[in-house]
Amino acid sequence: MKVLLTGASGGVGTRLREMLPQHYPHLRLSDLAAPKDLRADEEFVAADLSDMVQVERAVDGVDGIIHLGAHSIEGPWETILQANIAGTYNIFEAARRQGVKRVVFASSNHVVGFYPRGQRIGTDVTALPDTRYGVSKACGEALGALYAYKYGLRVLCLRIGNFGDVPLDVRRLSIWLKPEDLVQLIQIGLEHPDLRHEIFYGASANTRGWWDNSAAYRYGYKPSGDSETMLQAALDGQAKLAPDPVSDFFQGGPFCSQEFSADFEALRKEL
Ligand code: 15L
């Protein structure tokens, strides 16, 4: 199976470059610019995702796409619109035109950032994005559904929590995703015979998890990580953060408090 990894030069992409080749030896990498440490045995195609011609070149001849490429935090509308919304449309549309069978889309927990912490939610709740970035990921999920139901692509959207080796603070104890667990989720997306269109949370088996990830478990997901085993690291990280009532109340954390100008007390009472 030939697989394209977009966003290969970013933080998550860099880690996946190390981990994916043992499962997918025919891996093509793409990003705006090549990783500085690109090896001779790695294939790289530069692409600005907002340009369909470049995207079609990157997608040419692959069977599956892992689409990470995006502006991965909050940003100005024009940036989000081009990099994330137009970029993700171009990926799905190029996949359809070229007969690519599977797309794994890196969505984000920020699609549902305005749910209060502690509220257990599944993937069937109304989107409550906490940023323009979160809106772009909700839009990517909608594009995934369109291309699955209308054009027959097989699509897995992963609402990724926080990917890394350790949970960085108390919020991340609930949403942490161990790198090996992401690889497992990607394999389900690229290979599971029954998959048509699903949304999973990209989270490990965290003791303090907020999300009902039963859809992923139905497909055989067996996460190996639990952030609770690194509680102290998270508490140490938390100790460096200033208290922030809005951030501390909502699942999306600082993405919620950025630019926040609503009546927090009224909102908190309603929820
Ligand atoms: C995300 O979606 C971001 O891409 C990442 O940088 C983290 O901020 C993560 O969410 C998070 O919520 O911790």
The 10 Å CB-count burial string (b at 16+, else e) for 119-143 is: eebebeeebbbbbbbbbbbbbbbeb
Residue 71: count of CB within 10 angstroms of its CB: 17
pLDDT band per the 50, 70, 90 thresholds, residue 189: very high
pLDDT > 90? residue 108? yes
pLDDT in tens, 141-163: 999 999 999 999 999 999 999 99
Burial class (CB in 10 A: 0-12, 13-18, 19+), 172: buried
Separation of CA 202 and ligand 1 centre (Å): 11
pLDDT > 90? residue 118? no
Ligand 1 neighbourhood includes 72 CB (under 6 angstroms): yes
Separation of CA 239 and ligand 1 centre (Å): 19
Q: Could you tell me the residue ranges of all domains in the chain?
A: 2-270
From the candidates 24, 89, 115, 133, give the one annotated as an active-site residue.
133
The residue among 97, 237, 125, 218 whose CA lies nearest residue 176 is 237
Across the range 232-248, mean pLDDT stands at 98
The 10 Å CB-count burial string (b at 16+, else e) for 225-239 is: bbbeebeebbeebbe
pLDDT in tens, 3-31: 999 999 999 999 999 999 999 999 999 99
- Return the pLDDT at 152: 98
Query: Quick one: DSSP state of residue 247?
Result: H
Mean pLDDT of the chain: 98
Phi-psi region of 33 (alpha: psi -120 to 50; beta: other; left: phi over 0): beta
Q: What is 2-270's CATH topology?
A: Rossmann fold (3.40.50)
Separation of CA 266 and ligand 1 centre (Å): 27
How large a percentage of the chain has pLDDT more than 90?
A: 99
Residue 89: active-site member: no
From 160, 169, 170, 256, give the residue whose CB has the most ligand 1 atoms within 8 Å, as the site to mutate: 160
Ligand 1 neighbourhood includes 73 CB (under 6 angstroms): yes
E strands, the chain, where? 2-6, 26-31, 43-46, 64-67, 102-108, 154-160, 162-163, 176-177, 197-202
pLDDT in tens, 25-37: 999 999 999 999 9
pLDDT > 90? residue 271? no
Residue 216: count of CB within 10 angstroms of its CB: 25
